[in-house]
């Protein structure tokens, strides 16, 4: 019984998730002691700690936010070095483009432990690059790039990222059986084989260089019917002189040249004659080049493996700043990562949207009130202008009336004198 209990405990302990790195920025400015800004360039953009303009929880939603437009950003954090050999690797974090990003990165990089953090830059060798990248309407993708034997390899599939203003959860799972999975907001959006979806290895099969298509191999499925012949009355001109046209009476052959009637489409024209098609009795189908095993191909069961993982970094460019990075997690347990995602992003996503909706409603009301006020002010101004016009017109009317009365009196006096 004791042996059984001990074995059970060992299994339970072994099943506990291993957390290599976790960062939620819950201790104020202490993050500055854990994250190192690169000094490779003097004009890198500055990160600030912020929960943004709208959020689900003002404290839980605080993260690193880009704060300067049109800048490169380069910052990283170190953790105990590990290798993912023989185990699952899960990379997870949240990204919020509250600035309606037009062009900029939202991805992270995992580096080997020998990275010089103060000299980190765009050409620094990394293990994995993962996360969203947006630039104009044409680029809205999730990057999944692996370094394999010193060369960076991009995924062969197109994974679309989220491009709205809300926080989203990005998860990459790399398994020791050389399979992977990409999740957005805890839902699978892509998965497959590392070998099939990246060009890490040469193809397993290649065309046999010794094989050639036989000279008598006929790939034509249809051929002209040799028995079909063109009718004798087939050939008719496409255009003919208009039989109803008449030479104008004022036409002068010497001055205008010889008159020719205009051409019209020939109703009897049948077009180019082509014999009807029949099945080719010699058709052998499309010739397929035989393949052989590629002598340059060597299977690799450890494509997924990295001997040294020790730094996580943000190395990116943004035209319009405002992106917030938060809830970083590196672990070996898929289920644990999903639970963390639900506890962090999952718990604040709805309140975040509610706050954004309330702000938009308040802005709408404010705009309506301003428009209403502007209309009222315009109406008052128009009424004042009308009153001023009437006041200015009143003396003129009185003068005109007096003149008319004077003229009438003069006319009356003249009549009396007469």
Known binding-site residue numbers for Ca(2+):
24, 60, 62, 326
Residue 12 tokens read as 């339970």
Burial of 337 (0-12, 13-18, 19+ CB in 10 A): buried
Q: Facing residues of 239 across strands? A: 265
| Positions at the binding site for an alpha-D-glucoside | 107, 109, 126, 133, 315
Half-sphere exposure of 239 (CA within 13 A, CB side): 5
Q: 112 burial class (0-12, 13-18, 19+ CB within 10 angstroms)? A: middle
4-43 burial, b at 16+ Cβ within 10 Å, e below that, comes to eeeeeeeeeeeeebebbbebbbeeeeebeeebbbbebeee
- Whole-number Cα distances in Å, 381 to 176, 370, 374, 386, 389: 76, 16, 10, 9, 12
Q: Check: CB of residue 167 under 8 Å from CB of residue 324.
A: yes
CA 294 – CA 28 distance, rounded (Å): 57
Do 102 and 134 contact (CB within 8 A), yes or no? yes
125 Cβ contact partners less than 8 Å away, ≥ 6 residues apart: 111, 112, 115, 147, 150
Closest to 38 measured CA to CA, from 127, 116, 131: 116
Are 93 and 323 a contacting pair, CB within 8 Å? no
Q: Kindly give, in sequence order, each residue whose CB lies less than 8 Å from that of residue 217, ignoring residues fewer than 6 positions away.
A: 284, 287
CA distances from 305 to 51, 86, 153, 194 (A): 35, 8, 15, 11
Q: How far apart are CA 55 and CA 324, in angstroms?
A: 11
- Mark the binding-site residues, compressed into ranges: 24, 60, 62, 107, 109, 126, 133, 315, 326
């Amino acid at each position: 019984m004791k042996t059984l209990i001990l074995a059970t405990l060992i299994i339970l302990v072994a099943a506990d998730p291993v957390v290599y790195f976790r960062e939620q920025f819950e201790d104020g400015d202490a993050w500055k002691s854990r994250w190192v800004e690169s000094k490779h360039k003097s004009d890198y953009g500055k990160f600030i700690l912020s929960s943004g303009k709208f959020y689900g929880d003002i404290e839980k939603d605080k993260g690193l936010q880009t704060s300067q437009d049109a800048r490169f950003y380069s910052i990283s954090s170190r953790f105990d070095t590990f290798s993912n050999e023989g185990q699952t690797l899960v990379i997870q974090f949240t990204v919020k483009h509250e600035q309606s990003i037009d062009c900029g990165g939202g991805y992270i990089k995992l580096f080997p432990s020998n990275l010089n953090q103060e000299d980190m830059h765009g050409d620094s060798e990394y293990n994995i690059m993962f996360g969203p990248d947006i630039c104009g309407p044409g680029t809205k993708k999730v990057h999944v790039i692996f370094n394999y034997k010193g060369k960076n390899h991009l995924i062969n599939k197109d994974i679309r990222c989220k491009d709205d203003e809300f926080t989203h959860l990005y998860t990459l799972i790399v398994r020791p059986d050389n399979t992977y999975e990409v999740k957005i907001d805890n839902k699978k959006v892509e998965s497959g084989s590392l070998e099939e979806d990246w060009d890490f290895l040469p193809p397993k099969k290649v065309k046999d260089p010794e094989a050639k298509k036989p000279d008598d191999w006929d790939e034509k499925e249809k051929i002209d019917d040799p028995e079909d012949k063109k009718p004798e009355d087939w050939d008719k001109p496409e255009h003919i002189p208009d039989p109803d046209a008449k030479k104008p009476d004022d036409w002068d052959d010497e001055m205008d040249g010889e008159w020719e009637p205009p051409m019209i489409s020939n109703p009897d024209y049948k077009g180019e004659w082509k014999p009807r098609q029949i099945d080719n009795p010699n058709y052998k189908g499309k010739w397929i080049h035989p393949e052989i095993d590629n002598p340059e191909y060597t299977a690799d069961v450890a494509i997924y493996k990295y001997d040294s993982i020790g730094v996580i970094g943000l190395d990116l460019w943004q035209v319009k700043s405002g992106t917030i990075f938060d809830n970083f997690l590196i672990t070996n347990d898929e289920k644990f990562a999903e639970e963390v995602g639900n506890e962090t992003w999952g718990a604040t996503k709805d309140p975040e949207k509610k706050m954004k909706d309330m702000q938009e409603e308040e802005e709408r009301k404010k705009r309506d009130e301003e428009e209403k006020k502007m209309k009222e002010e315009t109406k008052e101004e128009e009424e004042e202008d009308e009153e001023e016009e009437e006041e200015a017109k009143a003396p003129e009317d009185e003068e005109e009336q007096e003149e008319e009365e004077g003229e009438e009196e003069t006319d009356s006096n003249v009549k009396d004198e007469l």
